[in-house]
Each structure stands twice: as structure tokens, then as C-alpha cells.
Structure 1
């Protein structure tokens, strides 16, 4: 299977640069995976397509304001650290720019000395292991000094950091948002629960690998990035009861999908589990757990459009994307949404 089979032409003006004032007013393209038919709605119309007993699975990860801008102590040369993975309480794996300033032993300062850092190791992939020095709670300092690490295709500055968080985010650790969930409001979730829709939560900390382009020619040759996930017993039981009773599991986002399909047994049942997943889902994959998917519109030739194609069929998905371009849907993180239905 060739990567170029997942290409579509996307005008730059359709890449959303800012979130809508009302999260749930984004457009919603409803795609039937069985027939390929398309309906044009808004996200607040989602209750029309869900029914009592459905389980929505949400990723409750929270994005760290993980971009730190500072100065090298000796030279006052500018440095940018992007926090990727926490190694222990004060030590992170970071992406450093420019890397030549971030040699082992180099020290940096942020926020006029509120936070200091020292590079303790350079990894084979060029990332740095950085130890931070501070007084007080690191997360509170990061909230004060850090900026949201927005995707490279968003050029405008985000005025409100919370607009790059879901309304149900709580487990800090992501370098990027699980963007399918950005359309939900607390009011919409309350309405769905009043209908009898159940909510289950899991956590997958989204890494920057989600934006990494596929550089091989053949899909099967791609090496998928690794991301940390966890699902607790209470939420596993919600999902398993629904599976046993023949009720639908609707995954909110590709991150929730990857987690569920990593954990699920052949019969679709899941169990309490934590770990790292490198699962790569593309056409030909047989889904074990999910029945439907709420997702944003993804980059051409990305692993995410391949996952969506595995669920709804490549021809259906590519037709839906061509329709979305023609109808001027907004694309990517702050863009519109798609619901892959029965």
C-alpha cells in the first residue's frame, strides 16, 4: 500500500488558525462507514446520532505549556526548550533549539531567574535530558512561564491557553491536544449523559510524533512513534459492560482509538493497563473494540488519515475529504469534525 494513495490537495486557507468562539458550533461531517453517505451538520447536532447505552470514550490528557523560552547563562544567547517526556520530578527529555547552545553542562535561565536548567545528557536522536532548578511547584512555574506548543501549521498566537485543552482534561503530560475532544462543551456532555450516553475516560499522552511525516514510500515500512497510555479498572468495566450487552463504543479521537485497540482482547474486552503503544492502524486492520469514531480532519499522507481509512474504508474517507475541501470545512487541530457512524 503506497503512502501517496492517501494524498489530497488542501488549500492553505482551509487550515484553521484559531478556535471558534463556541466549541460546539464547529461543523460536523457525518460519514456512514457502511454506505459512504455523507451528511453536513454541526457538532451540537451530535445527540441526533447517539443513543442511550452508547459509550463515548474520552482521552483526559492535558497539554503542558511545554515551550520554554530562555537565555544561556554565560552568553545570554536565546534558547527554546520543548518538554517532551518527564524522566523524574525535575528532569525532562527536551527538544532544544538551537541545539548547538545546549551542550552537556550548559546552563540556562527562564523568567528572570525564576527557573534554571542544566543539560545533563545528549541523546542519539539529538534530544536533550535537562534538569530544572526552582523553588516551589514546577507545574505552577510552567503555567506561568510556558507557552502552548501549537502544531507547526498554526501560525497565529493563541490568546487563551485553555482553548487548546478539552473541557475534561485533567492528566497533564501531552505535547499536543487530543483535538477531536476540543468540540465538546460541558453543556453538551451533560445533555448526552441525560440521554443515557455513558462516558468512559482513558489517558494517552500525545507526543510530537503525531505530527511527524511519513517518509517511506510503502505504508507498511513506517516506524510508528510511541506514546504512554493508561486505563483504570472502573473505566474498563464501563466499556466491558457495553460490549457484553451489544452496545456501541464510540471513540473520541485517534488517541482514544489507539489506546483501546492496543489493550483490547480479540473479543473487544479491555482491562486495566498502562504502558506504551506503537500500534499503527491502516487499511486491512480489524478493529476489536470500537464501533464509531469522532475525529478531526487530518494531514494528507498522515498516519491519522490511514487510521480513519481503516475504519471507514479508504474510498469513503478520500471521498469525504474531497467533499470537505469542496464545502470549505476547516482542517486540522482547530478545524471541524467528522463522525464515522454505522
Structure 2
């Protein structure tokens, strides 16, 4: 008689080939586990083959075999065979790849890993508290020589010298690049034709010679509007009339002079009027709270090309005697031109320095200057820019092969950290105001941490700051 078997006995009976029960593939998950894996291995592109999908599926299997007739799923529950009770779960060992890592860690880079991380610099990071007694308000009138702080970028060292010791940091074959721009008298004092109130006009740049139109700053600005007629008196009480034509985005005005004289005669008359009134600016400027100051008498010893409305302050440190001494020592002297505007030393008004926009300035570089400078670059010698304006002119005219090319155009190049300098490898300048457009340039050329330390040392050693102060040489 055939023995009756219960369902439990059938379920616990070992599998054999003779049984008619459905064989289960133990190398493949079943049920919800299988569906979840299929969802996660959908094709990412139509060109992905099923072979690639099956390889991914094999790498994601998380179950383990305990013996021939039992196994556990990913939750640790037995789904076939074995004894009843709480199953024993074994931890899966981590997967170790047999492929070698292509990245070789360099322990030397770990000491200075911050230089490989790009940081978005903020304007507030360039704020330095400078004592008021270290900020002169007028040009140097004493006989004390100008002090010179020498910053070595390679050795991270600081030396305290004087400007007369400049030649000791150069060798024959090096090149010093000067900005030969020249200031023109740019301050006019006049009256409004409507009510006769006093006004002051700062000539920034000429827009159209044919229309005799200029971009200017006016004071008081809130009382001078479009359509107002302004007149200026010369020494013979002859009127020179101008009309306010438009406003500018930089809080300035566009004025047009009404004069029937030819252009050359008009330009000469305008220049003479500025010179005459400039001699009386101490008297004429008393009616204004913050009058514009005419620095046209502060010219460098090598000024040649007229077009700036602001002095080239770093060049004022170099007298004719120092330049002759450098030439006699075998150092090349080269000249470029960049006309400075009043925005050169302006303060950055946004927190993210990358969003600041520089005003355009005109520069010119000749073929002769390119030959001298490229010769020093080819022989790997120093090319020292005198002033940040000279540096910006050089970096605005670079060829794809990192050589200087002749040019004459407008530039609004704004240099901030992580900029790669191509031409100049040395810089002579002064201690600039905090949060000005020139502080990020110094940080890019010198390094932010070294710049911060240099300013702290300058305060400790009582250097004079800003345009009328002492100088720094970065080599």
C-alpha cells in the first residue's frame, strides 16, 4: 500500500531529478528581489547590450549560499530547506576590486593642498585696518628717501630697503617697463546760466572731437541736469558755453561745448582755461565739500603722451638719476602707454570680485617695446612692470605663444587670484587701499596669504600707504 505524504513532508523532502516539482535556480534571486534588480538595471542608452546589463546584475547580487539545499535572501530569511527557527545570517565581506588605482597619492602635495582648490574670493577678504597716521594726504615734501619693501615670492622673504637700492635687484639684460602717460589739466570751474550757482567739472575723456563732446563728472551733481547750460570764463572774461546732453551709468554727464573755433584752437583754449583755473583751485574749490583735485602738476620724469586724468603714482618714485643709473648698469628701459582714469583706484562695490566690471582705458604698445621685452622673456630674465597700469597693459596684449605683441586699443582687464601672468614677472608699485580693484591683482601676483602678511609687516614697520606713500617691489 502506497504511503500518504503530507504537504510538510513534501516541502521538506530533498530535491531529486525524479520529482516532478519545478526546479528552482539557486544562482538567481526570486520574487521581489528579482523585480527590484530588473528595475535598477534599465537601459541607459539604446546602444547598451544585454550582456552589459547581465554583468551589472551579477555585481549587485547580495545573497549567499549556506549549503546545498538552503539559502537566505537579502533580509536574512530562509526561503528553502534547512532547520526551522531563526536563521543565522552571515555578513557579506566587502568587494575588493582587482583593478589598480590610476591616482598615485603624493605626500608632498598634502602639505600645500589648498593651492589645488579654487576659492571664490570675496571683497571683504581684502579689508585691512590701516592707522590714519600712516596715510599721507599730500605728496612727500620732506627730504627723507622713499622706503622700499622687497617681497621675494620664491623664498617668501621680506627685505626693507630704499628706492635708491633698486638696481641691486636686477642684472644686465633685465627689462624695466614704464608707463609714459601724461596728465592734462582736467578741472574747470564755472556757473549755471540759469541761476549763477558755482559748479565744478572734471573732464574724464573726449568722446567725439567733431561734436566737441566730453564725458565729465560734475559737482554738485544733483543740481546739474540734462539741458542745463554751463558757462566758463577765461582771463579775458570770454565765455565758453557747454550744454548737458546726457547722463552716464557712472553718475557722470555728457556735455557738448558750443564753440565755432576749429578743433585745434578749441582744444588749446580749453587747455589754457584749465591751467589758469588750476592755479586758483585753492580759492575756487572752497565752495565745495569734496572738490575735485587737479594733479596735473604731478608728472613723472618720463611723461610723454598726454591723455591721463590721474597721475601715475608709482612712476613718481623713479627720478631721472635712478633711471640713468639703471641704464648705465645694463638694464633695458622700455615704454608703453596706458591713459589712467579716475576709476583706477576705485573701490569694489560687490562682494563677489568676479562680478566687478572695470572701466575701459586706452593703451598702446609699440614694436620697439615688444622686441626689447620679448628678448628678456626669451632669455628668461626679469621683466619688471612699474605700476599696475603697466602690468595690465602688458597682459592685455599677449599672443597665443605667450609673447608681447604691438597693440593700441581699449582694455577693461580685471585681474584677480588664479590669473596666470604671461609677460611680467616682477612688479614695482605702492601699498594700495583695501578693497580697491588693485588688491586682487596684488593677491594674484604675490599670493593672498603672503600679501596679507606683507601688509601686517608694513603696518608694524610704519610704512606710508596709498598713492603718496612708500613703494613695494615684488620679484
TM over 0.5: yes
Could you tell me whether the CA contact under 8 Å between 1:18 and 1:158 is conserved in 2?
A: no
Question: How far did residue 105 of structure 1 move?
Answer: 4.7
Which one of 255, 276, 296 corresponds to residue 130 of structure 1?
A: 255
Matches within 5 A, 1:134-153: 137=268, 138-146=270-278
Contact 1:23–1:185 under 8 Å retained in 2: no
Residue 116 of structure 1 is matched in structure 2 by 240
Measured against aligned partners, the alpha-carbon deviations of 1:71-97 in whole angstroms (never above 9, x if no partner) come to 223422101110111124443211111
> Structure 1 residue 15: deviation in Å?
1.1
| Structure 1 residue 131, shift from structure 2 partner | 3.0
Q: What does residue 152 of structure 1 align with?
A: none
- By percentage of residues, which structure has more strand? 1
Q: Of 300, 306, 310, which aligns to 1:176?
A: 310
How many Å apart are 1:103 and its aligned residue? 3.0
Residues 1:156 and 1:75: Cα distance change in structure 2 (over 3 Å):
closer
Structure 2 gap segments, 5+ residues each: 1-120, 282-289
Q: Provide the C-alpha distance between the structure 2 equivalents of 1:159 and 1:228, rounded to a whole number of angstroms.
A: 21
- Give me the whole-angstrom Cα distance separating, in 2, the residues matched to 1:329 and 1:174: 28
Matches of 2:203 and 2:304, distance apart in 1 = 18
2:52 matched to which residue of 1?
Answer: none
Report the secondary structure of 2:399's partner residue.
Answer: coil
CA distance in 2, matches of 1:205, 1:148: 26
Pairwise CA RMSD: 2.5
Matches within 5 A, 1:1-12: 1-12=121-132
Within the candidate set 77, 82, 85, 2:205 is matched to 85
Cα shift at 1:227: 1.1
Aligned to 2:415: 281
Contact 1:24 1:185 in 2 (8 A): no
TM-score by length of 2: 0.66
For 2:373, what is the secondary structure of its paired residue?
helix
Cα distance in 1 for partners of 2:244, 2:414 equals 33
**1:124-150 CA deviation, whole Å, 9 max, x = no partner?**
42422223347661334333334799x
Per the alignment, in what secondary structure is the counterpart of residue 210 of structure 1?
coil
CA distance in 2, matches of 1:148, 1:61: 25
Which residue of the partner structure matches residue 43 of structure 1?
163
SS in 2 for 1:303: coil
Q: Using the TM superposition, name which of 49-58 and 287-296 deviates more.
A: 49-58
Counterpart position of 2:195 = 75
Kept in 1, the 8 Å contact 2:225–2:244? The answer is no
- Larger Rg over CA atoms: 2
- Give the Cα–Cα distance (whole angstroms) in 1 for the partners of residues 275 and 304 of structure 2: 14
State whether residues 106 and 119 of structure 1, in contact with CA within 8 Å, keep that contact through their aligned partners in structure 2: yes
Aligned to 1:34: 154
TM-score (norm 1): 0.90
Residue 156 (structure 1) shift: 11
Match of 2:206, SS?
strand
Inter-CA distance 158–104: structure 2 relative to 1 (3 Å threshold): closer
Q: Does residue 430 of structure 2 align to residue 296 of structure 1?
A: yes
